[in-house]
Amino acid sequence: MKQIFFSILLMLFVVGCNYNSRIEENEMKIIVWEISCVDELINHTHLKDQDTSKKYTAQRDSLYQKIFAMHNTTADKFYKTFSYYEENPIQFKLLLDSALAYGIRQRSNVIQTVKETIPTQPIQTTGTTTKDSLRKLTLKRNKALE
């Protein structure tokens, strides 16, 4: 009886330690989204420059570290969690789907914020008239031709 109890206790301890070494799913989806944005930024801004890939790798790694620091995690913990998800395809698909949904919500929020800050009516000037130099030239040319 004691052996069974200790076996169960040991299994709970191992599972508990393993669980704490992973990043929570909600936090992981945000990190995955932000990392994919960094990858797109690097790919888009340095598409033509293949010669200096070391420079861009360093820039990418620097941005990754900033993301990890913002979420109070480490690269090692992220990659361990990512490996866990890769080994579990159903959970991995759910993670990627939720990261995509998060990104779409973020994009919608940004668009809504921009719509709220841009005036809906055109800005009208009051009392200011500008001289139309092209019209003046056309009138001069017409007078000269007469």
Helix, coil or strand: residue 18: helix
- CA end-to-end span of the chain: 118
| Structural domain harbouring 44 | 2-145
The CA distance from 28 to 88, in Å, is 15
pLDDT of residue 60: 87
pLDDT in tens, the chain (146 residues): 555 444 454 455 544 455 567 889 999 999 999 999 998 888 887 766 665 666 778 888 899 999 999 999 999 999 999 999 999 999 999 999 999 999 999 999 888 888 888 766 666 666 555 566 667 777 777 777 76
Question: How many structural domains does the chain have?
Answer: 1
Angle at 100 between CA 65 and CA 108, to 5 degrees: 100
The CA distance from 4 to 12, in Å, is 12
Residues 98, 29: contact at Cβ < 8 Å?
Answer: yes
pLDDT of residue 104: 93
